[in-house]
Amino acid sequence: MNARLIAALAAAGTLPLSLPALAQDALKPEAAAKPAVAAPMPQVRTRDLAGTFGGQRVPYRATIADTILTDEAGKAEAVIVTTSYVKTPADPARPVFFLYNGGPGSGSVWLQMGAFGPKRVAIPSDARDDGAPPYPLLDNPDSLLDVADLVFIDPPGTGFSYLTPGTDPKKYLGLRQDGRAVADVIRRWINDNGRWSSPKFLGGESYGTSRAAMVVDELEGSTYNDVGLNGLILISTILDFAGREPTPGNEMAYVVTLPNMAAAAWYHGKAKAPSVEAIVAEARAFAIGPFASALLKGAELPAEERAAVRKEMSRLTGLSEEYLDQANLRVTDQRFYKELLRDRGLTIGRLDARYTGQDYDNAGETPDDDPSFYGIDAGYTAAINVWARENLGYKTDRLYQSIGSVGGQWDWSLGSGWGRQAYLNIAPLIGQAMRQNSGLRLFNAQGYFDFATPFFGAEYSLKRPGIPQERITWKYYDAGHMMYVRDEDRARLSADIRAFIRAR
């Protein structure tokens, strides 16, 4: 039996169950040696397991497998690793949910080991550092396996996935290129597993939401290989990149982050309001109204209006009027992380403003690092290596790239027909897909304390003309970028997405 057929059978859940201990390895360990330049051998490992998810006992097959992408001549260019969890016996009528993280350069470890996989890593839920090992693997009752089969994808340069020697990175590292590669993997998984008629959902986190826009354009925009989707599930959305670049003259970057500043100030006791929802509502109205108007007036802003805006901004953000005046009402997120709790000798997190850290000294303009990232990264990295290598049996000498370096090589152009592309906004691709597919719905999840992908920025990008608003579901959580690190929000997020999938 050749390797490609073995891979297809394993992914489809049709390998014989008589193999020892139901822990069959589709290929011998030697197949996992360092890949040959010309033709790496695909590795497939399977385990038959069971767990309780959403209150239901679910038997499932876990498969970690290599998908090899080739050029026109058949030369291997990329090895993309997927980890799938399929209820047994396989049921083509069940929904299938394809997921990936962002970066670009981030492996799927975060969503897989933190939110929706059958196992999750145990780290503190209250914005404390994850500390030193061990980091236990726990059963994850919040996994979505009760309502959908799950396929986690690590695009090239993330996780264990890689480009083969001699492959031009420009063919894979970019908005369009990455979208095509992931769409190719999805089509092949659907075909190999006989899932063309299954309801299909596509989900990403952070840049993964941008990837979702590109992938849906590839899947639904192809005349001869169209793959219809039932839902897009976006977590911590970034589609309009102009709102993330606080360069001189770009006022929108200050507008979309101000509500985050208010939420962070409220959390740390620097602003007063009955709830985070209450202060966020005030900050939204102020940001899009008096604040935006003041910034757009520039040098013509009257002194009285400037003083009134400065006073309200101080009340909402917890920053002094003197500091706001010196910043010309334009406070970058990096400055805010350092300034908000300077009087306490603390900085706050970018991914999650609930986290605090201590810098080398208290005099700088920006933090030394992000406490909300170094507060969780060791636990997640340990978890994915234990699960993939020891539990699922994946054999490789490669290091798992939780956050790789491919972003520095990224091609951010959308291709011909988009002009100079100085303003990068890919939300219109989602609008086009929804207009052309009347059954396509969108779920958007945002954390109030996320500065990496501000919730007001997501609202701004998805509430533009051309995007059917009646098919968007908005949900908000009391944590940051990865809201599922907070136990209560992981349960809420799971319940919300479970309801979204069932509502099809």
Q: Could you give the CA distance from residue 179 to residue 440 in angstroms, rounded to a whole number?
A: 19
Q: Could you give the CA distance from residue 430 to residue 503 in angstroms, rounded to a whole number?
A: 20
For residue 102, give Cα distances in angstroms to 35, 162, 212, 463.
26, 16, 10, 22
pLDDT of residue 407: 80
Q: Could you give the CA distance from residue 259 to residue 504 in angstroms, rounded to a whole number?
A: 33
pLDDT of residue 224: 60
Element (H, E) at 12: helix 3-12
234 DSSP β-pair partners: 204, 444
pLDDT of residue 124: 86
CATH pick for 3-242+382-502 out of 3.30.565.10, 1.10.150.80, 3.50.50.60, 3.40.50.1820: 3.40.50.1820
Structure tokens at 291: 């604040």
Tell me the pairing of strands 162-163 and 56-70: unpaired
Buried b (16+ CB within 10 A) or exposed e, 35-71: beeeebbbbbbbbbbebebeeeebebbbbbbbbbbee
51 DSSP β-pair partners: 58
The structure's pTM equals 0.89
Considering only CA atoms, give the Rg of the chain.
23
CB neighbour list of residue 232: distance below 8 Å, 6 or more residues apart: 201, 202, 203, 212, 216, 430, 433, 440, 441, 442, 443
pLDDT of residue 231: 97
The tens-digit pLDDT sequence of the chain (504 residues) is 333 333 333 333 333 222 223 233 333 334 444 444 556 789 999 999 999 999 999 999 999 999 999 999 999 999 999 999 999 999 999 999 999 999 999 999 999 999 999 999 998 888 888 889 999 999 999 999 999 999 999 999 999 999 999 999 999 999 999 999 999 999 999 999 999 999 999 999 999 999 999 999 999 976 566 899 999 999 999 999 887 777 888 899 999 999 999 999 999 999 999 999 999 999 999 999 999 999 999 999 999 999 999 999 999 999 999 999 999 999 999 999 999 999 999 999 999 999 999 999 999 999 999 999 888 889 999 999 999 999 999 999 999 999 878 888 899 988 755 555 567 899 999 999 999 999 999 999 999 999 999 999 999 999 999 999 999 999 999 999 999 999 999 999 999 999 999 997
Q: Could you give the CA distance from residue 216 to residue 230 in angstroms, rounded to a whole number?
A: 11
The number of beta carbons lying within 10 Å of the beta carbon of residue 454 is 28
Hey, where are the domains in the chain? Answer: 3-242+382-502, 243-374
Chain position carrying tokens 């299954």: 198
pLDDT of residue 4: 37
